[in-house]
Amino acid sequence: MSAAVVAVLLALLPARKPSSAEEVEALVARAFEAPEAERSAILGKLRALPPLKPAEAREWTARLLKLARRGPVSPLERENFLYDEEAKKGRYLVQGKGRALLIGLHGGGGGVGDAGNAQSQWGGSLRGLMGVFPEVTEKSGDAWGTDREEAFVLDLLETLKRTVRIDTNRVYLVGHSMGGFGAWTIGARNADLFAGIAPFAGAITPQYDPAGKIVGLPDGLLPNLRNVAVWVYHSLDDPRVKVDANQYAVARLGELSAKYGGFEHVYDEQDKRGHGLPAKGCGPAVEWLAKHRRDPRPKKVVWEPRSARKRMFYWLARTGVPSGRIAADVRGPNHIAVEVAPGAESGWAVLLDQRLVDLAREVRIDVNGEERFRGVPPLTLAALVESVLERRDPELVFPARIELKR
From CA 298, how far away is CA 282, in angstroms rounded?
A: 28
**pLDDT value at position 4?**
45
Query: Do 94 and 26 fall into the same domain?
Result: no
**pLDDT value at position 167?**
97
What's the domain range around 168?
79-290
Burial class (CB in 10 A: 0-12, 13-18, 19+), 1: exposed
The answer to the question of residue 73 being in a domain is: no
Query: Do 85 and 157 fall into the same domain?
Result: yes
**pLDDT value at position 10?**
42
**pLDDT value at position 9?**
38
The one-letter code for the residue type at 382 is A
The answer to the question of residue 74 being in a domain is: no
Say if residue 1's pLDDT is above 90. Answer: no
**pLDDT confidence band for 19 (50 / 70 / 90):** low
Query: Do 145 and 282 fall into the same domain?
Result: yes
The answer to the question of residue 173 being in a domain is: yes
The one-letter code for the residue type at 96 is G
The candidate with the shortest Cα–Cα distance to 198, out of 286, 279, 134, is: 286
Q: Which residues contact 215 (CB under 8 A, 6 or more apart)?
A: 206, 207, 208, 209
Percent of the chain with pLDDT over 70: 95
Say if residue 387's pLDDT is above 90. Answer: yes
The one-letter code for the residue type at 131 is G
Query: Do 191 and 320 fall into the same domain?
Result: no
Say if residue 226's pLDDT is above 90. Answer: yes
Q: Phi and psi for 249 in degrees, rounded to 5?
A: -65, -40
The answer to the question of residue 295 being in a domain is: no
The candidate with the shortest Cα–Cα distance to 326, out of 367, 357, 369, 371, is: 367
What pTM did the predictor assign? 0.93
- The pLDDT tens digits of the residues spanning 121-161 come to 999 999 999 999 999 999 988 899 999 999 999 999 999 99
Query: Do 114 and 164 fall into the same domain?
Result: yes
Query: Do 126 and 256 fall into the same domain?
Result: yes
**pLDDT confidence band for 16 (50 / 70 / 90):** low
Query: Do 246 and 102 fall into the same domain?
Result: yes
Query: Do 245 and 348 fall into the same domain?
Result: no
- The pLDDT tens digits of the residues spanning 343-373 come to 888 899 999 999 999 999 999 999 999 999 9
